[in-house]
Structure 1
Amino acid sequence: MTSEIDPPFTLITGATGGIGKALAEACRDHRLILQGRDRARLDILCDGLPDACPLVLDLTRPETFAAALEGLRPLTNLIHNAGTVELGPVAEQSHEVWTQTLAVNVVAPAELTRLLLPGLRQSRGCVVFINSGAGLSASAGWSSYAASKFALRALADALRAEEGASGVRVTSVYPGRTATAMQEKVRGQEGADFEPGKYIQPSTLAGAVRFVLDTPRDAQILDLTLRSGV
């Protein structure tokens, strides 16, 4: 159990991206473990927060996770935020693209959850999967990404069914287009302009996730969908 003396202990993947930074800021009163690949960027991010430590981890190498997490005390919250996207139709996307996308978007969250689950059971913690609108409806040209997000949705649903009795709460968040560098890349692949003012702001999404984390124990939010209000 946590208290004002013992703040929540939260791990956020993809912490150096736009949404990751916003999540870290929204949870700045937590003890934070911030995952990324670039130690320099992680150090800068951690330096600006009261109680944050970097976790350098390549999410395409699940065989390295156990050693990196060894000795970590039980988490209160695990937020799977990291993701990768490469647009293209089935007819054009190579197996390398599929392998990379599924590794980062599905296999890494599954393995991290497996390794951290004993501690989450102990704390009756919360697992949040930052999914996508593509995890609810697949469109032409979004083949590998949508498939990975549908799989992530299934992972979350299975985990919830399996861990309900342990007290672990599981939430999938399905944001629409969000004003991040990843969305700028997507718009470029679509041959369209990036207009950040028309999209969900990372801080708004992070606020919604914080609401999920703070929901009292007598309830849990199973799925949360956000769309731009502009």
Structure 2
Amino acid sequence: MTGASRGIGLSISQKLVSLGYKVYGVSRNPETCVYTNELFHLISCDLTNTKQLDQLLDRIPDRKEISILIHNAGLAYFAPVEELSSEKIREMISLHITAPMLLTSQLTRILKENKGRIVFIGSVAGNEISPWGNVYASLKAGIHHYARELFSELRKFGVKVHLLILDITKTDFYNHLNFEPDEDPKSYLLPNQIAEVVEELVVGDRGWVIPEIQISPELFKLKRKKQN
């Protein structure tokens, strides 16, 4: 589980632990996580650092038992294209495209042996034209297509691939953006609701699979943050 120390990643991790899974969570800042459980193991790793990423699986002693890979880590910078620094663009590319592709490649043989699953946490931004979301939305669209390609490629080997396309979800994703979810509880999703959807997808072997699902709140409302 990438991005496991907070928000959606932590909620999914807690749900999987409650179901008896041993969870290896990846986080850039694991020390910020307040959740502890004997089945929950946080690993410090900067997924934008290819050297750390290449060494990640070596730090999981029972990696050959891995049956689920969840790509959740992400961040976004929204700005006119000419105002996005090269550092921010590279960071988003590394986190949203490079890291998921490399991790998937490294784990595919194991997931084939275990008839496992890959879950991608996507975004409606990847399906729409987002104001100032030029790079972020394009990367999400790219990883959506990658998930669809993998579903087609890996299903013949018994590996189930799921793409969850999320709408507005109330997390600290919006901390450094100039907009955020509205106060109306019907206008945003909560991390535990996403975890419940993941539970429905991964529990049991029904003989069928949901390759793609979009989850949206009842209402669409956003608000601009007040400027200090």
User: Shorter-normalised TM-score: what interval?
Assistant: 0.7 to 0.9
d(CA) in 2 for partners of 1:195 and 1:137?
23
Q: Does residue 1:223 correspond to 2:212, yes or no?
A: yes
The structural deviation recorded for 1:195 is: 2.8
Q: Is the 8 A contact 1:19 1:205 kept in 2?
A: yes
Partner of 1:81: 72
Given the alignment, which residue of 151, 155, 167 partners 1:164? 155
Unpaired runs of at least 5, structure 1: 1-11
Change in Cα spacing, 1:214 to 1:180, as seen in structure 2 (3 Å) is: same
Counterpart among 56, 76, 79 of residue 68 in structure 1: 56
**TM-score, length of structure 2 as denominator length:** 0.86
SS in 1 for 2:83: coil
Give the secondary structure class of the aligned counterpart of 2:214. Answer: strand
Shift of 1:185: 3.5
Map of 1:175 onto structure 2: 166
Against the structure 1 CA distance between its residues 176 and 215, is the aligned structure 2 distance closer, same or farther, given a 3 Å change threshold? farther
Q: Deviating runs (4+, > 6 A) in structure 1? A: none
Instruction: Check conservation: 1:127, 1:168, Cα contact below 8 A.
Output: yes
Q: In 2, are the aligned partners of 1:34 and 1:55 still within 8 Å (CA)?
A: yes
Give the TM-score normalised by the residue count of structure 1.
0.86
Shift of 1:50: 4.0
2:135 to 144, 149, 152: 144
Q: Secondary structure at the match of 2:119?
A: strand
Q: Deviations over 1:4-60 (max 9, x none)?
A: xxxxxxxx1101121111111111121110110123235x43x2x241112111110
Give the SS at the match of 2:41. strand
Q: Does 1:121 align with 2:109?
A: no
Pick closer, same or farther for the CA change 1:161–1:193 going to 2, 3 Å.
Answer: closer
Unpaired stretches in structure 2, ≥5 consecutive residues: 220-228
C-alpha contact (below 8 Å) 2:71/2:120 kept by paired residues: yes
Percent identity (aligned) = 25
SS in 1 for 2:210: coil
Task: Say yes or no: does 1:211 pair with 2:204.
Answer: no
Aligned length: 213
